Amino acid sequence: MQSCRFAFAVHVLAYLAMRKDCCSSARLAETVNTNPVVIRRLLLDLQEAGLVRTLRGPNGGAILCKKPEKITLLQVHYAVESPHVFGLHPNQPLEECPVGRGIQDALAYVHRRAVRSLDRELGTLTLQDVMQRLRVGRTERPAKSLAQRQ
């Protein structure tokens, strides 16, 4: 099963970047279409990483700690996801098997390369890049025709 924590975190951070004030976990959960408990757990991880600050109380909520151009997607990824791209064998494979004998080392090599590649790419992208894509996406959508609006 794939995790959606990174996608949720980027969504939450982008939403917070569009606001100037605190936003409640309930409102963030509405925008993501998930349970507020999921968002509160995510916010704890993002706060621990120094990406958001949370305030308690009736006017509390979450707010960004940094400008969007200072938040890399790599920071977001490591704040909310496991550093593992994929899992290795949970049990030691059969040593007599020609594949089993070396598969752990071979897959560890592949994993290291995959992580390096992911880190390199996510390290070059920022929340500001996501914000820019959101703006582009809004302006590039074709206008609905009169028949589609009715």
pLDDT at position 83, please? Answer: 77
pLDDT at position 145, please? Answer: 42
pLDDT at position 44, please? Answer: 97
97 lies in some domain: yes
Token couple for 34: 């998930």
- Which residues in the chain land under pLDDT 70? 1, 136-150
The 10 Å Cβ neighbour count of residue 60 is 13
52 lies in some domain: yes
48 lies in some domain: yes
Do residues 42 and 3 make contact, with C-beta atoms less than 8 angstroms apart? no
DSSP codes, 113-134: HHHHHHHHHHHH-BHHHHHHHH
Based on the structure, what is the number of domains in the chain?
A: 1
pLDDT at position 8, please? Answer: 97
Domain that holds residue 12: 5-144
Which residue, among 22, 81, 85, 17, has the nearest Cα to 46 in the 3D structure? 81
149 lies in some domain: no
User: In a 10 Å sphere around its CB, with 0-12 CB exposed, 13-18 middle and 19+ buried, how is residue 108 labelled?
Assistant: exposed
Helix H or strand E encompassing 149:
helix 146-149
150 lies in some domain: no
CATH number at residue 118: 1.10.10.10
